[in-house]
Amino acid sequence: QLQLQESGPGLVKPSETLSLTCTVSGGSIGSSSDHWGWIRQPPGKGLEWIGSIFHGGSTLYNPSLKSRVTMSVDTSKNQFALKLTSVTAADAAAYYCARRRLVAVAGPVHAFDIWGQGTMVTVSS
Amino acid sequence: QSVLTQPPSASGTPGQRVTISCSGSSSNIGNNGVNWYQQLPGTAPKLLIYSNNQRPSGVPDRFSGSKSGTSASLAISGLQSEDEAGYYCEAWDDSLNNPVFGTGTNVIVL
């Protein structure tokens, strides 16, 4: 069964770069039918899509974060990564990685069907 | 960037039926399928309904989804204490060219 696990520092200083890794186990990150995303959730607030990375390495980012976000994939390690530069207190959140898969051909419709447990990131000096 | 609007909360007593709305526009719900996620306290979201009204394996049939025009709804029938959670709708937005989540609804079991 596919599982995702986020890892990275839980504390980042303001103006520095947040770096997180998502390790995929129980399956291959190289499947052409899947792509991978990052979603965050500030304490007590809703979900915000950060970006997605597709088979082959192409990316799509939330326009509101695009200037600060970089996503990459390492198929040899079955991992994908998130970098967010120039962080502020507004970037403090639980960060989730998730698989996005085609769930319905009619449409078509994709959904985040498998999620990591999440990792909390605090921004403080 | 929540372009999908949900009521902040909904409540009911055990056994009741609770409905949660998700309001969007022609660029998202009106033209694309809607997914729903359940987030139990302190845990990651879980896919609950996909493509408007389909349940993944293992999701009880107490949960059902529907869509009409630019709005979607999630219904929980026979409400149980373990249904107390946050619920989020999600759909692809053709104008933004990315997925968008709803504002989220906390369901409280009285």
Q: What is the pLDDT of residues A74-114, one digit of tens each?
A: 999 999 999 999 999 999 999 999 999 988 888 889 999 99
The answer to whether B62 and B77 are in contact (CB under 8 A) is yes
Beta-carbon separation of B35 and A118 below 8 A: no
Predicted confidence band of residue B1 (pLDDT cuts 50, 70, 90): low
Residue among B18, B13, B15, B3 nearest B87 (CA): B18
Torsion, Cα A97 B39 A61 A95, to 10 degrees, reads -50
- d(CA B38, CA B59) in angstroms, rounded, equals 11
**Local structure of residue B61 (DSSP, 8 states):** T
Q: What is the pLDDT of residues A37-55, one digit of tens each?
A: 999 999 999 999 999 999 8
Beta-carbon separation of B51 and A106 below 8 A: yes
Number of neighbouring beta carbons within 10 Å of residue B66: 14
Chain B residue at shortest CA distance from A62: B98
The answer to whether B49 and B59 are in contact (CB under 8 A) is yes
Q: What is the mean pLDDT of chain A?
A: 95
In the numeric block, which tokens belong to residue B31? 């033209």
Inform me whether the pLDDT recorded for B34 exceeds 90: yes
**Local structure of residue B56 (DSSP, 8 states):** P
Alpha-carbon separation of residue A108 from B31, B34, B87, B92 (angstroms): 10, 11, 23, 10
* Cβ-Cβ contacts under 8 Å, B46 against chain A: 115
Nearest Cβ partner for A62 among B32, B33, B98: B98
